[in-house]
Amino acid sequence: MASHGGNLVLPFGIDIQPLYAGIALVVVGGLWLSRLASRSNDEGKEAPSLPTSFFLFFYSSFIKPHQGDSRANQQDALESFYKTQAGAYDATRKVLLHGREDMLGLVAAQLESKTEEMKAAGRDRSKRIWVDIGGGTGWNIEAMARFVNVPDFFSSIYLVDFSPSLCAVARKRFERLGWNNVNVVCEDARKFRLEHYETGMHTAQNPLRSPVLSYFKQQQLREHGGADLVTMSYSLSMIPDYYSVIDSVTWLLSPHGVLGVVDFYVQNRTDFSFRNYTGGLLGRHVNAVSRMFWRAWFDFDRVGLEPSRRDYLEYKFGTVLNINGRNRSLGYIPYYVWVGCHKKPFSPSSLPHEIIERIDALATESPYLFPANQGDALTRAIERSAPEIRSKAFVTAVQNLSANLPLPSFFYQNHHWRIYYDDQLQKHTQFNNEYIYAFTWEDARVDERLLKLGPEDKVVAISSAGDNILSYLAQSPARVHAVDLNPTQNHLLELKAASYTALPYEDFWNIFGEGKHPNFRELLITKLSPHMSGRAFQFWLNNSHVFQNSKGYGLYDTGGSRHAIRVFRWVARLFGLQSAVKQLLEAKTLNEQREIWRNKIRPALLSKLVCNLVVAQESFLWSALGVPKNQLAMIEGDHAKSDLVKGEKPLAKNTRSHAIWHYMVNTLDPVAEETHIAADNPYYYVCMAGKFSRKCPLEYLRPEVHAKLSRPNALHGLRIHTDELEEVIARITPGTLTVAVVMDSMDWFDTGSKAAAAQVSKLNRALAMGGRVMLRSSALSPWYIEVFEAHGFTAKCHGARLDGACIDRVNMYASCWVCTKVENLPPPTPEMDRIGGAEITSLTI
């Protein structure tokens, strides 16, 4: 050793004297903590103070050796770890064990939702049983009181734990609370049987009998048990033989029971990327450094973070919801919250394959539920020539069942609004988990006037933000198929549907009218979660700040379209127009609004400088307004043919900036001149104010619409497809749709493309005779109108922006058309299907 400055140092430069001092401190501290621990155990009358609790936790976790008696079994190991710190357990785990309240809130919401369903069906169940495996001190059971009245909500609760010290703390807890329905069972979870304690259950046995004899007395293992709720809170990672414990839960859980788990985990995306039954992958991947560090760290305390624990849980049960979180207060420890149910769907009147068939029929308008079209001979010939039409959800379900895998989580939802889709496909991931539109730019009032939907109508429409979809549903058609390739647009529609189902009007208005709600996350977990798919729930949990942000504009300052709205605000600040905008939003009359527009706002907003620098840029048109290059070309084409360019005295040049500027003028001038924004134009009001006004909300935000769509089964006809429009209509039974609303999607095709003709052919096939296609276009005379007319449709223009006309309150499009089916096309050839990009698959169970 070398001497340096009077201190002994190791060859690699570590001072020995401070090292010895540290070791001495640990030894002395350990002896003091050991004495403190034994005194705490001896007294056992009250919980230690907070500082003492953390000292005990530190001593038990990092200093005290973990050893049992000569048997060296799991119970001894648990006691070695917990006996010293049993009284301090709750105080120290609040910081370490995140997600427990979220798990309890989610399972309570699921149980309450199932209770409401049973009441509506006349099957009210007064007996409700909860088994908490590895329940420890009983903290979970007491914390459940935040969500339900525990003594009244549950008839029986069983806390099962293998540590006598923790069970002793739990018994004192429930004596203090006076909850007589809680039973603390100090037993190996693998051997716990509910029928040993509950009367009236089959194969009831005396718990004092030999467990070996009791096991052989059973004729066979059951598929399910009688517990309505089974929970595991940070216990699965501490059970060495976790396979048998997870297996035993299948015998505990009732057919419609709920299983909730929260625990630590580490996983690589390669472990789960190709699984379609995990309920969503958002935030699940843990990087390599974190995986190695946390597994090694927790191994010291016999806590297993190997991926197989969570994998086996998801394999044995169906996934309903899950959260992948990080404990930010303690080094970003990964944890997950998982809610599941039985792997096999149970139904009082249906077998699993019948349930899958029924869900498939809802997605495809299959004759399984609906009578075949009884039209003309050509229609019947088409039906006979078509292969059996199946949804992608059905195909995936069959593949999973044949491999003995759980169904995708969509099949385990309480509502079957959302249809299964593969979220890992590039066509879905290209949107980078962001929606473009926070509200829909289509005038729902005009749609209602033109379409006049009735109870026999079956509609397919592009989702966008879902506003018009809900307006259609308010007219009570038989079915509305909402279609969007961007998953997050459908997440927004799902959130609105769930909010109708679960929230009173004031909460609904705050979320979608004001765009903000201070308690959104709590509402999402405790009220909305039972009515959402796993992926939509994950998305909104991850983006709850959108509504809870105390600053900014909330929902209507999000999505790709926010860039256009922010440009307006930027122009208003740059030219000092904030007061003018406020005056316009408060204008009492249309004449007052016109004066403010002409003299104050228009000169700045419609300046050619703003147009040239910002609006006319192709990147801005796409990211902010959703205008693709083909649609931009149509705008430029109309401009090139206009009198502004070709007149005797041209007033504009044939350039993109001139085309866009005149398109803006033709859009905004008629709106400001002919529609009263404060009283009757919510589309532009929300752009300027960042929220809607109660005086002129969108149709779906009106109290009477909320009252109608919040009734039981009001949204039963909603189907949400995440796919291309042509993929969806190709998988709908021919001749069953009556209305297709394609918005401006036809503008996206290349001029004269075969793909456009193929899509029109599929629309013809899916629509009944007399069915209508409603579309809007940025062109006055779109080229594809001739394609419709060549494929069995007649076309009629219901509005065109000629001579400064305002065709609706949005006025964003140059024309609006309705094409009516008057002729059936011959049966399609395989080549036509390939051109359209849709491949119809026929599978049977």
CATH, residue 236: 3.40.50.150
- Confirm if 84 and 41 have CB atoms less than 8 A apart: yes
Strands 7-9 and 2-4: antiparallel
Q: HSE-up of 729 (CA within 13 Å, CB side)? A: 31
Q: Is residue 290 part of a domain?
A: no
Q: What is the pTM of this model?
A: 0.85
Residue 398 to residue 843: CA distance in whole angstroms: 8
Secondary structure of 53-117 as H, E, C letters: HHHHHHHHHHCCCCCCCCCCCHHHHHHHHHCCCHHHHHHHHHHHCCCHHHHHHHHHHHHHHHHHH
| Closest among 474, 488, 472 to 438, alpha carbons compared | 488
Q: Which of 396, 412, 428 is the last residue of a domain?
A: 412
Same domain, 22 and 129: no
Intervals of the chain under pLDDT 50: 1-45, 50, 53-60, 62-63, 68-70, 85-89, 203-213, 215-216, 218-220, 348-349, 368-386, 835-845
Cβ count within 10 A of residue 100? 20
User: 530-554: buried (b, 16+ CB within 10 Å) or exposed (e) per residue?
Assistant: bbbbbbbbbbbbebbebbebeeebb
Same domain, 218 and 235: yes
Phi, psi torsion values for 160, nearest 5 degrees: -110, 120
Contacting residues for 287 by C-beta, under 8 A, at least 6 apart: none
Cβ count within 10 A of residue 28? 10
Same domain, 224 and 142: yes
Q: Is residue 589 part of a domain?
A: yes
Residue 523 to residue 537: CA distance in whole angstroms: 12
Q: Is residue 169 part of a domain?
A: yes
Distances (CA, A) of 399 to 406, 407, 499, 658, 834: 10, 9, 33, 55, 23
Phi, psi torsion values for 129, nearest 5 degrees: -120, 140
Same domain, 219 and 308: yes
Number of domains making up the chain: 4
Domain membership of residue 356 as a residue range: 348-412
Same domain, 561 and 680: yes
Distances (CA, A) of 81 to 172, 295, 711: 20, 18, 53
For 816, the 3-state DSSP assignment is strand
Q: Is residue 493 part of a domain?
A: no
For 751, the 3-state DSSP assignment is coil
Residue 649 to residue 438: CA distance in whole angstroms: 42
Same domain, 137 and 244: yes
Q: What is the pLDDT of residue 365?
A: 76
Q: What is the pLDDT of residue 138?
A: 94
Same domain, 313 and 175: yes
- Confirm if 311 and 406 have CB atoms less than 8 A apart: no
Residue 541 to residue 553: CA distance in whole angstroms: 19
Q: What is the pLDDT of residue 837?
A: 44
Q: Is residue 257 part of a domain?
A: yes
Q: Is residue 6 part of a domain?
A: no
Q: What is the pLDDT of residue 222?
A: 62
The pair of structure tokens assigned to 502 is: 């679960």
Distances (CA, A) of 789 to 382, 691, 734, 744: 20, 42, 19, 18
For 725, the 3-state DSSP assignment is helix
Cβ count within 10 A of residue 191? 13
Contacting residues for 215 by C-beta, under 8 A, at least 6 apart: none
Residue 542 to residue 559: CA distance in whole angstroms: 15
Same domain, 171 and 315: yes
pLDDT per position as a tens digit, 176-188: 999 999 999 999 9
DSSP line for 560-586: TTHHHHHHHHHHHHHTT-HHHHHHHHT
DSSP line for 598-610: IIIIHHHHT-HHH
Q: H or E element: which one contains 667?
A: helix 656-674
pLDDT per position as a tens digit, 761-786: 999 999 999 999 999 999 999 999 99
Q: Is residue 767 part of a domain?
A: no
Same domain, 52 and 112: no
Same domain, 33 and 145: no
- Confirm if 109 and 526 have CB atoms less than 8 A apart: yes
Q: H or E element: which one contains 820?
A: strand 815-821
Cβ count within 10 A of residue 749? 21
Q: Which of 92, 110, 141 is the last residue of a domain?
A: 92
- Confirm if 295 and 305 have CB atoms less than 8 A apart: yes
Q: How far apart are the first and last CA of the chain?
A: 78
Same domain, 205 and 310: yes
Residue 384 to residue 586: CA distance in whole angstroms: 61
Same domain, 106 and 22: no
Q: Is residue 647 part of a domain?
A: yes
Bridge partner residues of 63 (DSSP): none
| Closest among 336, 338, 334, 335 to 319, alpha carbons compared | 338
Q: Which of 92, 127, 144 is the last residue of a domain?
A: 92
The pair of structure tokens assigned to 227 is: 């517990």
From its phi and psi, is residue 652 left (phi > 0), alpha (psi between -120 and 50) or beta? beta
DSSP line for 159-177: EEES-HHHHHHHHHHHHHH
Q: Which amino acid is at 739?
A: V
From its phi and psi, is residue 576 left (phi > 0), alpha (psi between -120 and 50) or beta? left
